[in-house]
Every structure is written in C-alpha cells, then in structure tokens.
Amino acid sequence: MALGAIPVASRVVRRRRATELTLIVMAAVITGGAYTLASLGAHAVIPARIGPFLALLLVLIGAAHLTVRLLARGADATLLPLAFFLHGIGYVMIARLDEDLAALQATWSLVAIAAFVATLLFVQRAADLARYQWTFLLIGAVLLVLPMVPGLGVTINGARIWVRLGPLSFQPGELAKLALAIFFAGYLSQRRELIAASTWRVGPFRLPELQYIAPILVAWVFAVVVMVGERDLGSSLLFFTLFVVMMWVATERITYLVLGLVMFAAAAVIAWRTFGHVQTRVDMWLDPWSDEYNRGFQIVQAIYGLGDGGVTGTGLGRGSPGKVPLAESDFIFAAIGEELGMLGGTAVLIAYLLIIGAGLRVAVRTDRTFEKLLATGLTTIVGIQAFIIVGGVLKVVPLTGITLPFVSYGGSSLLSNYVLIALLLRLSDAGARRLGELPDEPTPRERWSAWRLRRRTRNHGAPVDLGGELA
C-alpha cells in the first residue's frame, strides 16, 4: 500500500462517520418534531413526556453511533440513519394510537439497540459466521417449532407464531429468518459450483445432483411447512423468496427463478383450495366491499384512510387511524398514509428502497462469496417484508399479516431487524477494509489472543514467530 494511502483512507472513513452522525441527527430532529406535532394535532398541547422521549432518543442514537464508530469504522453511512428514521416514524404513530403500547415499544427499543451493540461486539469477523452454518440451521429449526410446543406457543389473531414465557411473549420466527439466511449463505458459498453444475434434466430444466441440494431443500421445505402449519403465510412467502433469491445469486442460473415461480404458483393454488383462511384473504383482496362490515372491514377502513389522507395527509394527530383494526402493527402503513399522505408514505417507501440499495451495494463491494450471499439474503428479508405488508395494505397482493420492518409495533421484529442492520454494517466494514479504505487491523478478540500467546510464551521461555519476528 502506498505511503499516503492510509491517511487518505482515514479521511474517507472520518467523512463517512461524520455523514452518518449528521444523518442520524436529522432523523432525530424529524422524529422529535413529528412526536410534538402529533400531540399538538391531537390535544393542542406539547407532549408531557417530551423530556424523557428526547433523552431516550439521544441515548439510542448516541450508543448506536458510538458503537459503529468504535467497532465498524468503515461501514456504510446510510444504513443506521435510515433505520432510525423508520423507527422514529413508527414510534410516533404507535404513540399516536396507544400510549401504553408506545411505552412497551420504548422498552423494546432499548433492548433492540443493546442487541445491535452486542452483535457488532461479538461478530467481529463476518466470515466467522460461516463456520457455524449447521449450528444456525439447528437454531433456526428450533425457533420455528417453538410456537408449536404445547404450553409455550399461543395463538393470537388466528396465527400460532407466538411463544409466551410468563408475562413475556415474542415471535421466534423473527430470529429464525436470520439464522436460516446465515445457513443458506454458508452452505451455498461452499457448494455453489457443485450446485451450479447440471447433471440431470427435468423437462427443459437442468438440475444438480440431489445429494448437494438436498440439505438446503429440506431446510426450506421444513421452514415453509412449519410456517403454513402455524398459519403464518407471510413468513412462508418470506422464506420461499429468500431461498429462491439466494439460490439464483449463488448459481447465476435463471432456472431457479423459473422453478421458484412455478413452485410458488402451484403452492398458492394448493393453499387457496385447501385452507379456508387463505380463500378468505384472496376473496377480500379481490373484492373487500363484498363483505365490508365483516371480513373486509379492516382493508376497507385502510383504503378509506388512505383516501382521506390524499397527497399531503390530514396532519399528525388530525386523522382517525384508530378506526383500522391493528393499525399499530399490520396496518401501520395505512395510518402513515392517512396522516402524512401520499408524500409521507412515499418517503417511507424511499427509505426502504435506500436500505435495499445500500444492502446490495454491500454485496457488490465484497469479493467473498459467503459475505456476498449473506448481504443479499439480509437485504432480501427487509425488501420482501416491506413489499408484502405495504402491498397488502395497498391491495396489490393478498394480505398476509407480517410486520413492517422498524415501523410496526413488536419487540421481536424490532430486535431482529436491528441485528440484521448490525450484520450488514459488519459486512460493509469488512468490504471497506479489503478495498483499502482503512487498515485491516486485528479485532479486539485477536489482540487478546495474541497477548495471551505472548504472555504464555514469555512465561515458558520459548520464542514464537509473530509475523516473522521473535517475541
């Protein structure tokens, strides 16, 4: 590396972190302003909890930014601010709808940021995750079946996707999707050439040996079947799409996209003919006004709310989003569209598009297959979730009932999405180091191991070769 390369790289890194801080502050200002406007619109007074709210906001942004500055200096500068922007808008809408739920969401926000910090602290080399691919497969499988265990799983709103431990309830499937994404990335990165090689033909399609593709097929089928059994069709679609996209990226074979579409169409028809709740959702997707006071009530009220919002919205605190059932979770985008209008809804969608773009940029910038596949998988999770829930509210696709990342109420979703952002930041930092944007320094764990090795060697009086020098 040239003598002036590191100083130049250091300036790039400093500018990147300064940009991140500026964007985070802007997101905090937007959140604080929106929180105040929502209270003024609804009650004509400045919110009584504005002080604790601002304090919590400063703690969250300060802890997250400081962690990135210390542990992932070369990471992308836009991912964390975009997550904070969406999180802030979501929290304001939740507080607008239900103060008690907002208090719980604030607690979960602290837990989520703690998980974000812990992920960056313990995952210091992204490539290390590939060593534990089978462990993550086991973890993902256990998390998926937990809601089906008698005494643990509970059914809420028709879906058995919750686990209750005393007063605490959570959705283990939110973390299962991350575990399975890591497994898919690890398995495909090691066997991509074998899977890409075509050895036998099925009609117009050429497929690899079954022994190489069987483990990932079993994991995918297991995930989809379990989610269908738990009546969680949104997560089933998410796992299906994650599998197809990662197979396509790993093999660069259009065959897997075509087969994925065929299998999806067949599965959709079977589910529509077999499950009554799927038939109901399809019928209400096609014509919700046929039963607008019963089965179609939720989506009809959401459409009315979006129409009432128009282009600029009714204003924060001035609409009636509470008329939509589950407006704080499944239909929070309808609440945003009503009070912030088409412009506010578009801003939220643009934020998701920017996250997707940043995630794909992380994938493009790395030259390691595992990291490329993992970044693609994590980005797919965010993008598909946003598309499914927004598309359901806008009547583009049948309603499936999953959370809008960072925006909807739910601690499990919030925690898993911040862990996802932390993993993307770690991957981005690793790519920046290999591109020479900053020195590839040893991690704290590697420094600790080297110190212990030197001390042990010194105590025993034996020299050890450390980079060509005797300790």
Burial class (CB in 10 A: 0-12, 13-18, 19+), 464: middle
The residue type found at 343 is L
- Residue 113 CA to chain centroid, in angstroms? 14
Residues in the chain: 471
SS3 content of the chain, % helix, strand, coil (to 5): 75, 5, 20
* Tokens 């088409």 sit on residue: 342
CA atoms within 13 A on the CB side of 92: 34
**What is d(CA 59, CA 48) in angstroms, rounded to the nearest whole number?**
19
Q: ∠143-417-369 over CA atoms, to 5°?
A: 85
* Tokens 């450390």 sit on residue: 466
* Tokens 């920046």 sit on residue: 432
Q: Which residues of the chain have pLDDT under 50?
A: 1-6, 464-471
Q: Which of 191, 209, 213 lies closest to 199, judged by CA?
A: 209
Contact 28, 59 (CB under 8 A): no
* Tokens 């483990």 sit on residue: 215
Q: Which of 459, 370, 367, 379 lies closest to 417, judged by CA?
A: 379
**What is d(CA 45, CA 93) in angstroms, rounded to the nearest whole number?**
17
Helix (H, G, I), strand (E, B) or coil at 336: helix
Other C-beta atoms closer than 10 Å to the C-beta of 106 total 18
Bridging pattern class, strands 200-202 and 168-170:
unpaired
Q: What is the DSSP letter of 85?
A: H
- Residue 409 Rama label (left phi>0; alpha psi -120 to 50; beta): beta
The predicted model scores a pTM of 0.89
pLDDT confidence of residue 115: 96
Q: What is the DSSP letter of 147?
A: G
- Residue 314 backbone phi and psi in degrees, to 5: -80, -15
Other C-beta atoms closer than 10 Å to the C-beta of 451 total 10
Helix (H, G, I), strand (E, B) or coil at 326: coil
